[in-house]
């Protein structure tokens, strides 16, 4: 028969998959010789066997719950799960093994389970492979009945304590094992407290506790028809209840929210342990202590202690616990032993520990230890401090801090301790918490921002034309859209906090207000959005903005010394470059120039360029435009002096810079109504015809990128002029601008060759002649079409560098329209498990990833020195960065606000690669 039960001293502390986190920690503390009440572990395999007969049905019901159905449907699903679980039996032979280990416990303790004179009491506690604090169930003081409670009173010479333990057992057993509403027990407790004028539980006299026990038993009999006073039946039912708690609603939701999949944790273990009692008087107590301060990271014991109490009292908040420092004042020897053992665990586990302990009549016992959950500040500080203390290496310190953790340190967050209820919740699209006045259109955002007001742009959904409002606003809120919607993507790129898809918000542009859950919010009212959580608040909520200082700076410097892949930034404007350099970027991997054209004078000129009828007229206008945008290039190159700056030539379809046809029709109609002159009306009608002529059925796959440079080489000549004159003028100032000109949307080597020969190189020669200097710059391409990946060797012969545009490459590979799929079918694909991840968030390794690897291999084969990077949004995603490192890329380029994430993720990728090589 399979072995389901192991004593603490038998179990392997490193096998959390079999023994659960709690069981593994008890095994570890036992092996370290720490005072641990003896006990044994029922493995997770036994739990899996318990669910096995109905596992498929249960898994399907859980999947339905994961889809977040309406409450009435969710409750029906939960009821069905519990109905099925109640029909299941413990695995055959399990109780025989449990009873054998009870005999061993009896021998160790000198007590007898169920004996009326010298009873052994046990706790029955859950313990999943992954920490799920408070999500599953525990039963304490098991083994009590009307006979054994007298034995316990005589055994301890403490009648009050014995009945306090009995009433606790009845309440826990009734609630957890028998499923009785806890409120019934609480009501009886309050009656007794009132009767005996007891302010707290500890003030109830012995006779009051006897009355309470009788009242609790009546509740159980009334609700269930009987009370199981046989300790062996209690134990069997409690084991089954702990197994069952794996399927309770909060445990299911916790696993969903924390992405705990079946391959990580598929069931819980059960820990059966001899009871020690913290409620035997004021020389006893219970507490939770951390080996360091989990809020600040300071090297001090941090936690709480509650005298004359059991563990659930601390969790339930029945009484206000004491700070652990007060234990030092009251019982210094006890505190010193606690400190010594907790620090021993920290050194052994190489991690800050969260330790549960009980003191029984002055003797210290340890009940559990696990890795502590900390604030981002504490996580970074403790990792760095422990490295300096020699507990861990610098490499281990870097690996302890998840890349997303440092991101939380750099964005504004709701200040700690603030109590506020959100009025709405959407998707946390771009991190940061910010307050501002509500505005409903981008023009108003710009106008108010110029007046010095902080505004939040609130839209049903956003469009590219709204981008000037993005820059003017301090945050963006939409009622529609997903994590890869326009609002989300742009907000992340420019570092603006954003909450999208807050569907409860109903916007009325005409009335300049929105309604949400009966609350009216007018334009000009203050709201606060939290892009870290997706919450929306009414009014101004205090926020905190951290900086890269101290331990974080140290950690990032270690990461930089470890990583083997470069980190650059994507940018639109000079402000992006400043933030990127401040955050440690090693250059600009993608400078998008389209933002430069949004100023009215420039946009008007660009529109004239697009609408020009002849190449001569187009070139003349383009040269004028080049002079205007040259200043932007100079400013960015000055900021990034000495570092590479890759500038992408114009990429979007030209129609995006023109008025929409429907807008022009409206203007023409209004001009006619107002009696405007014939010439003005005819001019607008000519513009309308030209815009219609340029309109495409599928513009994202049409006249854009390099195709514009080939059909209108004057545009690329003008852009080259602006870029290279900026370089020349800075070189004459003694600076060291390092520029790469990147041609987008290339699918054929001939396209690069044409643009180089007809636009870039002729203009470069003119500028060299004009300024009397030799220009040093690179010409490369963005690899974002499938064909470019397939013929990367041919393209490499014409390029100095490659940069993968994984956003468009993902669209092309899947035949997905990014703007459409998020709100149509992508959520269903993710819910149904057809896609494991959103391919616009994390690189699709099997499809897009294979194209990337193929292109790298082909290109390096013909030009080993070719520099290859990635500048899509995946450049800031830790899992994608790991793939790009393994694929052989030289650098990743990310949003300026994700540079620190990329730096740390790149170090993680390097270290994981080393670990994998060693294991092989």
Cβ proximity of 483 and 407 under 8 Å: no
Three-state secondary structure along 691-746? HHHHCCCCHHHCCCCHHHHHHCHHHHHHHHHHHHHHHHHHHHCCCCCEEEEEECCC
Q: Is 262 helix (H, G, I), strand (E, B) or coil?
A: coil
Helix, strand, coil: what percent of the chain each, to 5?
Answer: 55, 15, 30
Calpha distance 680→672 (Å, rounded): 10
Type and span of the H or E element at 45: helix 44-51
Structure tokens at 258: 């924390």
User: Which residues participate in catalysis according to the annotation?
Assistant: 486, 871
Spatial CB neighbours of 909, under 8 Å, sequence gap ≥ 6: 563, 565, 881, 882, 884, 885, 886
Pairing assessment for the beta strands 801-804 and 777-783 based on DSSP bridges: parallel
Calpha distance 259→250 (Å, rounded): 14
10-28: burial string, b at 16+ Cβ within 10 Å, e else: ebebebbbbbbbbbbbbbb
Cβ proximity of 161 and 400 under 8 Å: no
Q: How far is CA 110 from the centre of its chain?
A: 50
Calpha distance 90→353 (Å, rounded): 34
Calpha distance 240→225 (Å, rounded): 19
Q: Which of 452, 454, 428, 446 is nearest to 529 (CA)?
A: 428
**Phi and psi at residue 673, in whole multiples of 5°?**
-65, -35
Q: Is the dihedral of CA 553, 555, 558, 563 positive or negative?
A: negative
Residue appearing with tokens 């300049």? 512
Calpha distance 882→902 (Å, rounded): 10
The alpha-helical segments, DSSP class H, found in 428-549 are 442-450, 467-472, 486-494
Question: What totals of helices (H) and strands (E) does the chain contain, helices first?
Answer: 38, 33
Calpha distance 256→248 (Å, rounded): 13
Calpha distance 565→505 (Å, rounded): 43
**Phi and psi at residue 312, in whole multiples of 5°?**
-70, -20
Q: What is the dihedral of CA 294, 298, 299, 302, to 10 degrees?
A: -40
Structure tokens at 903: 């730096």
Spatial CB neighbours of 364, under 8 Å, sequence gap ≥ 6: 35, 334, 337, 338, 341, 357, 358
What is the DSSP track for 755-770? HIIIIIHHHHHHHHHH
Establish how many alpha carbons lie within 13 A of residue 213's alpha carbon, considering only the half-sphere containing its beta carbon: 21
Q: Which of 682, 651, 646 is nearest to 664 (CA)?
A: 682
Calpha distance 322→235 (Å, rounded): 33
Reported for 256-259, long-range contacts at CB under 8 A and 24+ positions apart, including other chains, are 256/65, 256/66, 258/130
Calpha distance 231→583 (Å, rounded): 62
The alpha-helical segments, DSSP class H, found in 584-677 are 600-611, 615-639, 661-674
DSSP 8-state assignment for residue 853:
H
């Amino acid at each position: 028969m399979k072995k389901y039960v192991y004593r603490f001293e038998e179990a392997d502390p490193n096998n959390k998959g079999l023994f659960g986190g709690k069981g593994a920690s008890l095994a570890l503390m036992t092996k370290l010789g720490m005072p641990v009440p003896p006990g044994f572990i029922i493995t997770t395999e036994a739990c899996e066997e318990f669910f096995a007969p109905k596992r498929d049905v249960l898994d399907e019901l859980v999947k339905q719950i994961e889809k977040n159905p309406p409450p009435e449907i969710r409750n029906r699903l939960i009821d069905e799960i519990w109905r099925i679980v109640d029909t299941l039996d413990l695995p055959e032979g399990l109780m025989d093994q449990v009873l054998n280990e009870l005999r061993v416990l009896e021998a160790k303790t000198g007590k007898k389970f169920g004996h009326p004179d010298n009873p052994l009491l046990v706790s029955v506690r859950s313990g999943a492979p992954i920490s799920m604090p408070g999500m599953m169930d525990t039963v304490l003081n098991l083994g009590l009945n009307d006979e054994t409670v007298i034995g316990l009173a005589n055994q301890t010479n403490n009648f009050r304590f014995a009945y306090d333990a009995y009433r606790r057992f009845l309440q826990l057993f009734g609630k957890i094992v028998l499923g009785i509403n806890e409120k019934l027990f609480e009501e009886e407790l309050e009656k007794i407290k009132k009767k005996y004028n007891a302010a707290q539980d500890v003030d109830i006299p012995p006779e009051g506790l006897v009355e309470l026990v009788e009242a609790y038993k009546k509740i159980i009999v009334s609700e269930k028809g009987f009370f199981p006073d046989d300790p062996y039946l209690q134990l069997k039912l409690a084991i089954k209840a702990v197994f069952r708690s794996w399927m309770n609603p909060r445990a299911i939701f916790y696993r969903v929210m924390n992405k705990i999949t079946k391959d990580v944790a598929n069931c819980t273990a059960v820990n059966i342990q001899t009871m020690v009692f913290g409620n035997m008087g004021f020389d006893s107590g219970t507490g939770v202590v951390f080996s360091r301060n989990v809020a600040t990271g300071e090297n001090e014991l941090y936690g709480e202690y509650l005298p004359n109490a059991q563990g659930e009292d601390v969790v339930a908040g029945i009484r206000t616990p004491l700070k652990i420092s007060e234990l030092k004042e009251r019982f210094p020897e006890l505190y010193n032993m606690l400190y010594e053992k907790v620090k021993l665990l920290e050194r052994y586990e190489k991690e800050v520990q969260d330790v549960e302990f009980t003191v029984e009549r002055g003797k210290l016992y340890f009940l559990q230890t696990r890795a502590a959950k900390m604030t981002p500040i504490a996580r970074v500080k403790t990792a760095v401090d422990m490295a300096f203390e020699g507990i861990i290496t610098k490499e281990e310190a870097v690996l302890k801090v998840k890349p997303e953790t440092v991101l939380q340190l750099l964005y504004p967050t709701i200040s700690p301790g603030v109590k506020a209820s959100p009025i709405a919740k959407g998707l946390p699209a771009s991190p940061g918490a910010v307050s501002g006045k509500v505005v409903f259109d981008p023009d108003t955002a710009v106008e108010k921002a110029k007046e010095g007001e902080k505004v939040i742009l609130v839209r049903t959904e956003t469009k590219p034309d709204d981008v000037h409002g993005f820059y003017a606003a301090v945050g963006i809120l939409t009622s529609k859209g997903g994590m890869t919607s326009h609002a989300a993507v742009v907000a992340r790129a420019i570092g603006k906090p954003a909450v999208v898809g807050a569907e409860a918000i109903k916007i009325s542009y005409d009335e300049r207000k929105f309604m949400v859950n009966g609350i009216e919010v007018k334009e000009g009212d203050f709201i606060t959005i939290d892009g870290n959580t997706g919450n929306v608040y009414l009014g101004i909520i205090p926020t905190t903005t951290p900086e890269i200082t101290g331990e974080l700076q140290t950690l990032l410097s270690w990461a930089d010394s470890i990583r083997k892949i470069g980190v650059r930034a994507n940018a639109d404007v000079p402000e992006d470059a400043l933030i990127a350099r401040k955050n440690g970027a090693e250059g600009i991997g993608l400078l998008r120039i389209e933002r430069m054209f949004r100023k009215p004078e420039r946009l008007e000129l660009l529109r004239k360029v697009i609408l020009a009828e002849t190449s001569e007229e187009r070139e003349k206008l383009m040269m004028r435009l080049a002079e205007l945008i040259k200043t932007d290039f100079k400013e960015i190159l000055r900021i990034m002096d000495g570092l590479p700056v890759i500038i992408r030539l114009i990429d979007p379809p030209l129609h995006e810079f023109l008025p929409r046809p429907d807008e022009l029709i409206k203007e023409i109609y209004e001009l006619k109504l107002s009696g405007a002159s014939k010439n003005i009306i005819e001019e607008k009608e000519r513009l309308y015809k030209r815009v219609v002529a340029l309109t495409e059925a599928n513009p994202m796959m049409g006249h854009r990128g390099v195709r514009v440079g080939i059909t209108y080489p004057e545009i690329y000549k003008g852009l080259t002029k602006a870029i290279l004159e900026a370089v020349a003028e800075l070189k004459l100032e003694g600076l060291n601008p390092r520029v790469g000109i990147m041609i987008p949307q290339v699918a054929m080597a001939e396209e690069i060759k044409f643009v180089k020969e007809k636009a870039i190189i002729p203009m470069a020669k003119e500028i060299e002649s004009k300024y009397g200097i030799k220009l040093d710059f690179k010409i490369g391409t963005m690899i974002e079409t499938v064909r470019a990946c397939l013929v990367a060797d041919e393209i490499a012969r014409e390029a100095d560098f490659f940069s993968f545009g994984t956003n468009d490459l993902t669209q092309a590979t899947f035949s997905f329209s990014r703007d459409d799929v998020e709100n149509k079918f992508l959520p269903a694909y993710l819910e149904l498990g057809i896609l494991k991840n959103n391919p616009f968030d994390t690189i699709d390794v099997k499809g897009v990833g294979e194209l990337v690897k193929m292109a790298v291999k082909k290109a390096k084969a013909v030009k080993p020195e070719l520099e290859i990077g990635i500048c899509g949004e995946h450049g800031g995603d830790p899992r994608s960065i790991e793939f790009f490192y393994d694929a052989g890329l030289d650098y990743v380029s990310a949003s300026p606000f994700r540079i620190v994430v990329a730096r740390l993720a790149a170090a993680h990728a390097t270290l994981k690669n080393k670990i994998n090589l060693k294991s092989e």
